[in-house]
Amino acid sequence: MTDIVLDGVVEEIIYSNDENGYTVCTINAMGEPVTLVGIMPFINEGETIRARGSWQVHATFGRQFHVDYFEKKLPTTSGTILKYLSSGAIKGIGPVTAERIVSRYGEESLEVIENNPEWLSDIRGITPKKALEISETYRMQFGMRTVMLYCNRFFGPSLSVKIFKRYGSGAIDIIENNPYVLCEDIEGISFEKADKIAMDLNFAYNCPERIMAGVIHFLQVAAYNNGHCYIPEDILLKNAASRLKVSPAEVGKIIGDLVFTDKLVKSEINGKIIVFLKEYFDAEKYIAAKLVSLSEVEFPVKLCGIDEQIDMLEETYDLGYAEEQKKAITLAVTNGVTIITGGPGTGKTTVIKAIIDIFDNLKLSFMLAAPTGRAAKRMSEASGHEAKTIHRLLEMGYGDSHEMRFMRDDSNPLPYKAIIIDEMSMVDTLLMYSLLKAVKSGTYLILIGDVDQLPPVGAGNCLSDIIKSGRFRVCTLNKIFRQAQESMIIVNAHSINDGIMPQLDTKNSDFFFIKRERAVDIRDLIIDLTSKRLPKTYGVDCIDDIQIITPTKKGDLGTFELNKALQRALNPQNGRKKEAKSGSVIFRENDKVMQIKNNYDLEWFTTADGGEKTDENTGRGIFNGDIGRILSINTQREVMVIDFDKRITEYDFALLDELEHAYAITVHKSQGSEYKIVIIPIYDHPVPLMTRNLIYTALTRAKEMVCLIGRAECLEVMVKNDRRPERYTALGEFLCSF
């Protein structure tokens, strides 16, 4: 479709979002009022704009012009200048002052404001000082217009707004001097994008700015995509030189410069030189030192008769703890740092309840926490005590310079005598660092998790490294209790973890395997089970109670294709549901969606009945892995309302790249969550994903039923493959050095 161009004067600003520049306004184009919608930041009534886009018909608001690109033109007539100045666009000029300026200078008014501000002091009510302030504001706005026009050559309006807010009127000089600062300073601009701009500006392939940005980029990608806290120097030199098309010697010189400026850290492990981003080096060093420090404190609970405490609990609850459970309880309340690990059905929850009962009896304050909202909710329901996400525990908020940060740290530590963290396998290095900074000396730290689960999505492998170091008291729970033995989910999960094929033909159980050979047949059966058979047979909700978990994003059985098919089956368009498009993805009212990155700025409230928002029922932050339902979509304002497990948030269309459909999710994204029914496709997935701990993790997400669909020989390959991708972490070595 060919773009249409409209020129006109802005008559009215109907809606404007200061954060992303989304605007609804009317213009007078060719003598007719036209409604414009789109990202048009910093426009004011009275300004003349040129908009490029297309006509669309809104179901409620009728014919609108959807703007893809716009530029401002200065008003030229006395009438349009008066409207512009009267709108409040320039600080210090209201309607009365605007009338006086235009009456005196007419069509030359803007020229006077910009180049001869001293003339303004002839106007009643304008002092020489105020005249200079008016001129400065106008020039800044002129600079803003220039920046926006320049940035629109490379970016969309949304990123252009971010750039102007970050750099102001000096943005063009900054970009042309070093476009690579963009990928460091502006979220959403990749190294590849900055590199393209640099090439357009004739930067040399081997310029220092490019190599510096490239080296930092490769280390960041290694952290975000592969979980590495460092890269061996020889590998970094080789890969960076190859990707950047420069020599290893040039990369080596730049690494040295980055180490000198404290952006990178070089260290040595087992005779091998390694390179860290500084934040990961500092984090792993701090974690090691803090854990050792916490573990060396003598605790008074040792004097309180722990055996008697356990006996009393057995009598109170009419149960008998297994010996390994007694050991875990004893270690937890008599040591500064304790790690408790075990698979499903081994009594971790029972141990947690015993530990907190003893702390209660001894009048010791404690708090439970987990990495995700769903994991925290499960922990709270199982223990009968409040559990928070780690982010909420650390009180995410705004610092003095208006940046998001944790309010709890070494200067404002957590007030509890004991902190119990569940699902520790999910805690990455940076989150562990932030947590430990807020833990004061003399606090019991109890870390609970399943070391056989997948490692965290973020960089690091804290739980595994802590256990392998041998520096702390570890209790491994192995016994499967009688009630758990009745669940074939648990029995088969332990079999898989031991490298033994699960029982696939058990009748009347909670574990089903359905043989299918072709990917298309697996997909069709998944859709049939989810949309019809399981809801009809078991009375479950097809969206909320059933979760498809697949190893991969791509392919016929990856999340991309499965989500398309499941959306058509479970939430089809009926002519009434509103939609929002992001790239090739269509989000629809009632869709099941997942947040795929931490967003600390998103505001939410928990009022479910439409009541007033208060300090008690509001908060900030929607995090990676949170699943929600789209309640409504407002295409006029370009926002949607999403319910993330009773946290209601207004979600701007500019953030749609942070959302994915969640009818089907990857195994990695399922960590820390439980679902009533889980369906897992078993097929010839990519080789790196055909691993034991991946299928084990997927299986243990099911609470009441699991259904595997596919090829038994592929399942056998996964069960026998105990290969775990190596992560470059130094926490274990740092722990052993103390």
pLDDT above 90: percentage of residues in the chain: 56
pLDDT in tens, 97-123: 999 999 999 999 988 988 888 999 888
Phi-psi region of 77 (alpha: psi -120 to 50; beta: other; left: phi over 0): beta
Residue pair 713/720 in contact by the 8 Å Cβ criterion: no
pLDDT in tens, 137-186: 887 766 666 777 788 778 766 677 778 878 877 888 999 999 999 988 88
pLDDT in tens, 379-429: 998 888 999 999 989 988 776 655 678 899 999 999 999 999 999 999 999
Angle at 364 between CA 361 and CA 365, to 5 degrees: 125
pLDDT in tens, 348-359: 999 999 999 999
Pairing of strands 659-661, 664-666: unpaired
Q: Is the pLDDT of residue 303 over 60?
A: no
Q: What mean pLDDT is reported for the chain?
A: 89
Residue 348's closest CA among 366, 370, 363, 365? Answer: 370
pTM of the model: 0.81
Count the neighbouring beta carbons within 10 Å of the beta carbon of residue 258.
21
Lowest mean pLDDT among 59-68, 140-149, 261-270, 585-594: 140-149
pLDDT score of 727: 93
pLDDT score of 613: 62
pLDDT above 70: percentage of residues in the chain: 95
DSSP-assigned beta bridge partners for residue 55: 65
Mean pLDDT, range 678-700, rounded to an integer:
93
Cα separation, 69 vs 150, whole angstroms: 12
| One-letter-per-residue 3-state SS of 212-270 | HHHHHHHHHHHHHHHCCCEEEHHHHHHHHHHHHCCCHHHHHHHHHHHHHCCCEEEEEEC
pLDDT score of 528: 96
Query: From the CA atom positions of the chain, what is the Rg in Å?
Result: 30
Cα separation, 85 vs 100, whole angstroms: 11
Q: Is the pLDDT of residue 609 over 60?
A: no
Residue pair 162/149 in contact by the 8 Å Cβ criterion: no
Q: Is the pLDDT of residue 41 over 70?
A: yes
pLDDT in tens, 484-533: 677 899 999 999 999 999 988 877 789 999 999 999 999 999 999 999 99
